[in-house]
Amino acid sequence: MTKFSDLKLHAKVLKAIDEVGYTQPTPIQAGAIPPALEGRDVLGIAQTGTGKTASFTLPMITMLNRGRARARMPRSLVLAPTRELAAQVAENFDLYAKYTKLTKALLIGGVSFKEQDQLIDKGVDVLIATPGRLLDHFERGKLILTDVKVMVVDEADRMLDMGFIPDIERIFGLTPFTRQTLFFSATMAPEIERITNTFLSNPERIEVARQATTSETITQLVYEIPASGRDTGKKKRDFLRQLIDQEGEKVTNGIIFCNRKVDVDTVAKSLKKHGHDAEPIHGDLDQSYRTRTLDGFRDGKLRFLVASDVAARGLDIPNVSHVFNFDVPSHSEDYVHRIGRTGRAGRSGTAMMISTPKDDKLLAGIESLIETTIPRGETGMVKPADAAPEKPEAQEEKPTKSRSRSRRSSKSKNAAEETQSAPQPEPEATAEAPKTEERRAPKQDKPREEKRSRGGRGRGRNEDRGPKVVGLGDHLPGFIEKSFEERRTE
């Protein structure tokens, strides 16, 4: 079996790993570190929880330990889709590079440009950034990317979902052709395949088993409660509290997942009102509040984190005893990500999900993905009338057809629908806002209606827009228009 000491990592890195207490490399580390240290491109197909962050940070630290950065010219670049993930990579870097003199800067939204500029001006070895923020700095002339020797793209499939692929392509183009690329994605969608074919050179491909085969250390239960109509939300909140009470002291801490930001807020408020220690986390909340909340949860000061998928995705929070799915996730794979927040590193965990009749199809989709029938929990305890009265909800969601639709086949379709139908999960909450309009969503993901109205500058569909010319926008040069006119008269 491979040991860290077999991996040709720098002695200072080995010392840090030893202190952290890792005894053995994970499969992605054993697979990715040797080719990375040889200077080869790496394509890692792995998701969070597999140890992938160390699989790129450890060889980077080893390789960068020789040499120093020049002002404004970082020697390596790590791109992550969300602020939290970027911050997490930065934490990992600090941990593993503690015995080296390497410097880093974290470029994420919510932090002042001035502070970040000062660091870059001094020269950093590692720049960790979200794509939009990185390009902001670049465009302000504060950053030169021609000295980047290693570029890491983390969670590429998430980047795709969030419309960041044009940014990534642009950043690839700004770095030297000779750079080394370490590229990680949980899945290989066709668009991701295309990017890797374009920008990676003969990469070593390492694929580790999908976490989708849900960990055996997690006890899963689904509670099918007979709630429908207007007071569904209230019944679910009552039931959630009953579950928490039923689990009692077994719940040392828990993450409660909701599909929509508005429900994240409502559930957190309701739990607090009933005496539970809970805080919400989603992308509409102020960055410093989010950081405080997460830190509190990590440190064991906060018992319940009520979260949206995006806010919690990829976050490494060890020791979570319970995951509660307040909603059945709209995309089956999110179930795997959500419950993977518990039962980490061989510890036991419990994942409980509340399902209502309108969720039947989604539930069936999840069970088919994980190839398991989730055991049904006892729901006899649902007696909404027994629960403490709550104010009627202002923003209760109306059931719509699209809500019960089962998982669609492609991610791009998902993204398009997310922008179209209100009850779908919200757009990527903790993402850095894409910079240009184009970045907001990949071309193929645009809802049709949006595409149509673009050229029309907001005019109604049936209004007269003059001669219909597809593909040339509003600014049709006269001489071209003339040729169309001639055709028409013919």
Q: Which residues bind ligand AMP (CB under 6 A)?
A: 22, 24-26, 29, 48-54, 316, 318, 345
Rounded Cα–Cα distance for residues 201 and 488 (Å): 51
Query: How much of the chain is in helix, strand and coil states, percent to nearest 5?
Result: 45, 15, 45
Q: How far is the CB of 27 from ligand AMP (least distance, A)?
A: 10
How far CA 223 is from CA of 70, 321, 340, 380, in Å, comes to 58, 18, 19, 10
Q: How far is the CB of 29 from ligand AMP (least distance, A)?
A: 6
Q: How far is the CB of 22 from ligand AMP (least distance, A)?
A: 4
Q: How far is the CB of 253 from ligand AMP (least distance, A)?
A: 16
Q: Other CB atoms closer than 10 Å to residue 128's CB: what's the count?
A: 29
Check: CB of residue 442 under 8 Å from CB of residue 165. yes
Rounded Cα–Cα distance for residues 448 and 426 (Å): 19
CA-based nearest residue to 461, from 473, 449, 479: 449
Closer CB to ligand AMP, 104 or 407, in the complex: 104
For 223, phi then psi, to 5°, come to -110, 110
Closer CB to ligand AMP, 71 or 345, in the complex: 345
Give the contacts of 86 (CB within 8 A, at least 6 positions apart). Answer: 78, 80, 106, 107, 108, 128, 129, 130
Residue indicated by tokens 């597809």: 470
Closer CB to ligand AMP, 28 or 370, in the complex: 28
Closer CB to ligand AMP, 26 or 424, in the complex: 26
Q: Helix 27-37 vs helix 52-64: angle between axes, to the nearest 10 degrees? A: 30
DSSP readout, 63-111?
HHTSS-PBTTB-SEEEE-SBHHHHHHHHHHHHHHTTTS---EEEE-TTS
Closer CB to ligand AMP, 340 or 365, in the complex: 340
Q: How far is the CB of 308 from ligand AMP (least distance, A)?
A: 19
Q: How far is the CB of 138 from ligand AMP (least distance, A)?
A: 27
Q: What amino acid occupies position 75?
A: R
Question: Nearest-5° angle of CA 210, CA 213, CA 218?
Answer: 125
Closer CB to ligand AMP, 21 or 226, in the complex: 21
Closer CB to ligand AMP, 29 or 266, in the complex: 29
Closer CB to ligand AMP, 53 or 356, in the complex: 53
Q: How far is the CB of 338 from ligand AMP (least distance, A)?
A: 15
Q: How far is the CB of 316 from ligand AMP (least distance, A)?
A: 4
Closer CB to ligand AMP, 51 or 254, in the complex: 51
Q: How far is the CB of 320 from ligand AMP (least distance, A)?
A: 12
Closer CB to ligand AMP, 53 or 215, in the complex: 53
Q: What amino acid occupies position 155?
A: E
Q: How far is the CB of 116 from ligand AMP (least distance, A)?
A: 24
Closer CB to ligand AMP, 57 or 330, in the complex: 57
Q: What amino acid occupies position 81?
A: P
DSSP-based three-state secondary structure for 44? strand
Q: Other CB atoms closer than 10 Å to residue 211's CB: what's the count?
A: 18
Rounded to an integer, what is the distance from CA 457 to the centroid of its chain?
A: 32
Q: What amino acid occupies position 255?
A: I
Q: How far is the CB of 451 from ligand AMP (least distance, A)?
A: 37
Q: Other CB atoms closer than 10 Å to residue 81's CB: what's the count?
A: 28
Long-range CB contacts for residues 16-23, cutoff 8 Å, separation at least 24: 16/95, 16/96, 16/97, 16/98, 16/99, 17/54, 17/58, 17/96, 20/95, 20/96, 22/54
Q: Using the 8-state DSSP alphabet, how is residue 431 labeled? A: B
